[in-house]
Amino acid sequence: MPLPLLPVSRRAVLGAAVAAVPLAGGCADEAPARSAAAHAQLPVLLGAIAAEQRLVGLYEAAGGGDLTPALTAHVGAALAHHREHLAALRRLYVPGSGRRAEEGGAMPVPVTQQVPAGRAELVRALREAEAGAARARLAEVARTSPGLAQVLASIGACEAGHAAVLAAEAPA
């Protein structure tokens, strides 16, 4: 008899995946190959952090736009999801590990986002941003360790879902 599937929240999946990712350690007895692999992932991690910061900024700016009640609810939910993604990715970054150029740079700084004024243009901008982010996460999965790949795949799936909702909600 198969076991019933239990509902699992996105937060639980991301939390478990984050806990399983040994991205950048600082132990002196750590094997050089593992340390080098962790540092090679830094550019991918920092790129994903920067992308989530852009999405958070975009959704924050979109919140004050001319939206239908359904779109307002989606914008609020998507903003909450992207904040969770950003927090999960930031937990993987070890402060100080990316300050040297060969390790991929420093933590990205958020920038203010501008959004189009019209509803159709705003929805299109959000949809394109989500679809582009989903494609980027998919590409990053192939360039990183299995643990970080799981986190990126989860985030990319969520972004693809947001893009699909926005495509269905596009104003006529």
Q: List the pLDDT tens digit at each of the 172 positions of the chain.
A: 443 444 445 554 455 444 444 444 444 444 444 455 556 788 899 899 999 999 999 999 888 777 788 888 999 999 999 999 999 999 988 766 555 545 555 666 666 677 777 888 889 999 999 999 999 999 999 889 999 999 999 999 999 999 999 998 765 5
Give the whole-angstrom CA distance, residue 42 versus residue 144: 9
pTM: 0.72
Residues sharing a CB contact under 8 Å with residue 127, sequence separation 6 or more, in sequence order: 163, 166, 167, 170
Q: What does the pLDDT look like over 130-158, one tens digit per residue?
A: 999 999 999 999 889 999 999 999 999 99
**pLDDT tens figures, 68-85:** 888 889 999 999 999 999
The dihedral built from the CA positions of residue 110, 152, 106 and 128, taken in this order, carries a sign that is negative
- Could you tell me if 17 and 151 are in contact, meaning their C-beta atoms sit under 8 angstroms apart? yes
Q: What is the rounded distance in angstroms from the CA atom of residue 75 to the CA atom of residue 95?
A: 31
* Alpha carbons 141 and 17: distance in angstroms, whole number: 13
Half-sphere exposure of 120 (CA within 13 A, CB side): 2
Cα–Cα distance, 126 to 82 (Å, whole number): 13
Q: Compute CA 143 distance to the chain's CA centroid, rounded to the nearest angstrom.
A: 16
Are 57 and 112 spatial neighbours (Cβ–Cβ below 8 Å)? yes
Looking at residue 41, its pLDDT comes to 84
Domains of the chain, each with CATH number or no CATH: 32-169 (1.20.1260.10)
